[in-house]
């Protein structure tokens, strides 16, 4: 009998190839850049607004001033009432427009809330590619709002 050679791969060969691909993927995954999506950018804006609102509520409840630290160089927003810190990723542009003085004192990169709910105000802008969110604190009422705007891609 003439034996016809079969072409193809054995199951063992296929398992070995899949194992090699899995190992390569496991090694290379940390080097794949992860970018902030639009929904994640919106989540950062909501977290920032929530942190600011919690500080405002704490100022009213405690009947004392509470200042939220806006630390642009370290890309962080730190609560003045709790230990909560929101860190903004490097691929998100992080800008803050804050008052120089608040009630005749240097503001020092803070948004301050007072016992009556008022504030000296400020704006935090988070931008990624064609999407931007501004978290605005009204200088008179202390009201916090999020404004969304489309930007032109650079």
Domain at 38-150, CATH homologous superfamily: minor pseudopilin epsh domain (3.55.40.10)
- Rounded mean pLDDT, 119-145: 92
Q: Supply the pLDDT for residue 56.
A: 95
Walk across the sheet containing 110-113 and list its strands.
Answer: 85-87, 76-78, 66-71, 110-113
Which of the 8 DSSP states describes residue 92? Answer: S
Question: What is the per-residue pLDDT across 28-38, written as a single tens digit (0 to 9) for each?
Answer: 777 665 687 88
Residue 62 CA to residue 29 CA, distance in Å, equals: 47
Q: Supply the pLDDT for residue 33.
A: 58
DSSP helix, strand, coil percent of the chain (3-state; round to 5)? 30, 30, 40
Element (H, E) at 70: strand 66-71
To which residue do tokens 């009204």 refer?
138
Walk across the sheet containing 93-97 and list its strands.
Answer: 93-97, 122-128, 131-137, 144-150
Q: Supply the pLDDT for residue 154.
A: 43
Domain edges within the chain: 38-150
pLDDT band at 4 (very low <50, low <70, confident <90, very high): low
Q: Supply the pLDDT for residue 73.
A: 85
| Position 78 pLDDT exceeds 90 | yes
Scored b (16 or more CB within 10 A) or e, 18-51 reads eeeeeeeeeeeeeeeeeebeeeebeebbebbbeb
- Rounded mean pLDDT, 101-112: 83
| Position 152 pLDDT exceeds 50 | no
Q: Global pTM? A: 0.74
């Amino acid at each position: 009998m003439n034996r016809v050679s079969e072409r193809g791969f054995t199951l063992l060969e296929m398992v070995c190839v899949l194992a090699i691909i899995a190992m390569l993927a496991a090694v290379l995954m940390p080097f794949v850049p992860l970018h902030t999506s639009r929904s994640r950018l919106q989540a950062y804006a909501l977290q920032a607004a929530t942190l600011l609102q919690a500080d405002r509520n704490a100022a009213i409840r405690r009947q004392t001033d509470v200042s939220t630290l806006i630390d642009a160089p370290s890309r962080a927003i730190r609560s003045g009432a709790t230990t909560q810190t929101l860190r903004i990723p490097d691929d998100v542009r992080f800008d803050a427009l804050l008052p120089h003085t608040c009630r005749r004192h240097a503001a020092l990169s803070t948004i301050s809330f007072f016992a009556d709910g008022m504030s000296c105000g400020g704006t935090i802008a988070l931008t990624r590619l064609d999407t931007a969110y501004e978290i605005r604190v009204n200088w008179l009422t202390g009201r916090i709002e999020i404004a969304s705007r489309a930007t032109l891609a650079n």
